[in-house]
């Protein structure tokens, strides 16, 4: 007969995940800012004189590309710290990986929202134009970076290989940004600051765009914190599985000898 | 609003992609949390 004790009735406490008080506060602020952005972008901000209502796509398109650039630059900085730092920290490498993952998602969003905007403005979803082509190349380069991170090898090998690639592919960002000036392009030049550094946007439009940039930057911080913690746990779980497999092989060997 | 389908579609795609990515991240984190003891999580 099984004896029921107060201890046996206790539900085992669930182990805590990647969330902390700070991430919950950032997450809440992000949700509020994204709601704010949707209201301003779709309802309050005025239509553009030339582009009409299609300018509303800008409030998600420009912050997406800003966030993708930011993510790739963070990846490059972390790659440099890993590669040239004394400790060759794996924690920094995980932040680089997490940031690249977030960047790839936002680069995909940039490409899709850009295609929808292009369909309204140019009448086609895609043109092999300099800006569009270099952006697609940047996107594919970072998919390659993530593929290299998934290759076989030790964690230090993974970190070293991906750090080298992270430092090389970031050089494509200036090429993407300046492509509209280097080659004749369908894509418009910088929206906020023109060549004369004058702000060329209506106040409410600029405010909506700024709300989008703030919302997406908060989102970036939230996502990178969660994903880098997740990558830490993947590494730790892999280590534990390896230790258990080794221990079981050792005990099997001991039994056979006995 | 002219071209409402494209405009609202771009917001839905953006927010949908963000939402799906965030939910997937949280779910994976919770699943992994069970295989790693709390003392090995430096953020706690």
Question: Quick check: A14 contacting B, CB < 8 Å?
Answer: yes
**Closest approach of A163 to chain B, Cα-based (Å):** 23
| Chain A interface includes B4 (CB < 8 A) | yes
Q: Provide the pLDDT for residue A61.
A: 94
What pLDDT band is residue A11 in, cutting at 50, 70 and 90? very low
Residue-wise DSSP of A188-222:
---SSB-TT--B-S-HHHHHHHHHHHHHHHHHHHH
In this predicted structure, the answer to whether residue A2 has a pLDDT above a threshold of 60 is: no
ipTM at complex level? 0.92
In the predicted model, what is the mean pLDDT of residues A43-59? Answer: 88
Give me the residue from B14, B32, B38 closest to A230, CB to CB. B32
The whole-number pLDDT of residue A46 equals: 87
CA of A64 vs chain B CAs: smallest distance (Å):
8
What's the CA gap between A98 and A96, in Å, rounded? 6
Residue pair B13/A109 in contact by the 8 Å Cβ criterion: yes
Verify whether the Cβ–Cβ distance A15 to B34 is below 8 Å.
Answer: yes
Would the CB atoms of A54 and B15 count as touching at under 8 Å?
no
Choose the weakest-confidence range: A46-50, A74-78, A177-181, A252-256. Answer: A252-256
| The model's pTM | 0.86
Q: Could you give the 3-state DSSP secondary structure of residue A53? A: helix
Tell me the pLDDT band of A179, cut-offs 50, 70 and 90: confident
Query: Residue A36 and residue A44: Cα distance in Å, rounded?
Result: 10
Number of other CB atoms surrounding residue A15 within 10 Å: 17
**pLDDT tens for each residue of A102-128:** 999 999 999 999 999 999 998 999 989
Q: A183: how many CB neighbours lie within 10 A of its CB? A: 12
Residues of chain B contacting A102 with CB distance shorter than 8 Å? 21
> What pLDDT, on a 0 to 100 scale, did the predictor assign at position A66?
92
Q: Does B39 touch chain A (CB under 8 A)?
A: no
């Amino acid at each position: 007969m099984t004896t029921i004790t107060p201890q046996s009735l206790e539900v085992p406490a669930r182990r805590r995940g990647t969330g902390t008080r700070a991430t919950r506060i950032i997450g809440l602020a992000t949700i509020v800012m994204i709601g704010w952005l949707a209201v301003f972008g779709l309802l309050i901000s005025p239509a553009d004189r030339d582009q009409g209502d299609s300018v509303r796509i800008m409030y998600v398109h420009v912050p997406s590309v800003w966030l993708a650039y930011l993510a790739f630059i963070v990846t490059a900085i972390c790659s440099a710290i890993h590669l040239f730092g004394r400790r060759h920290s794996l924690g920094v490498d995980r932040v680089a990986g997490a940031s690249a993952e977030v960047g790839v998602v936002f680069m995909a969003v940039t490409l899709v929202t850009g295609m929808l905007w292009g369909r309204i403005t140019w009448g086609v979803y895609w043109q092999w134009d300099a800006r569009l082509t270099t952006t697609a190349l940047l996107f594919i380069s970072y998919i390659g970076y993530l593929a290299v991170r998934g290759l076989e090898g030790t964690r230090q090998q993974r970190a070293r290989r991906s750090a080298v690639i992270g430092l090389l592919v970031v050089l494509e960002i200036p090429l993407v940004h300046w492509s509209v000036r280097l080659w004749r392009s369908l894509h418009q030049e910088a929206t906020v600051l023109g060549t004369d550094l004058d702000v060329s946007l209506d106040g409410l439009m600029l405010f909506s765009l700024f709300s989008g940039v703030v919302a997406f930057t908060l989102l970036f911080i939230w996502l990178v914190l969660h994903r880098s913690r997740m990558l830490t746990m993947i590494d730790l779980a892999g280590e534990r599985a390896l230790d258990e497999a080794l221990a079981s092989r050792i005990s099997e060997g001991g039994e056979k000898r006995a | 609003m002219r071209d409402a389908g494209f405009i609202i579609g771009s917001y839905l795609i953006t927010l949908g992609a963000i939402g799906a990515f965030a939910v997937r991240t949280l779910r994976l984190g919770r699943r992994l949390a069970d295989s790693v003891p709390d003392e090995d999580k430096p953020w706690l």
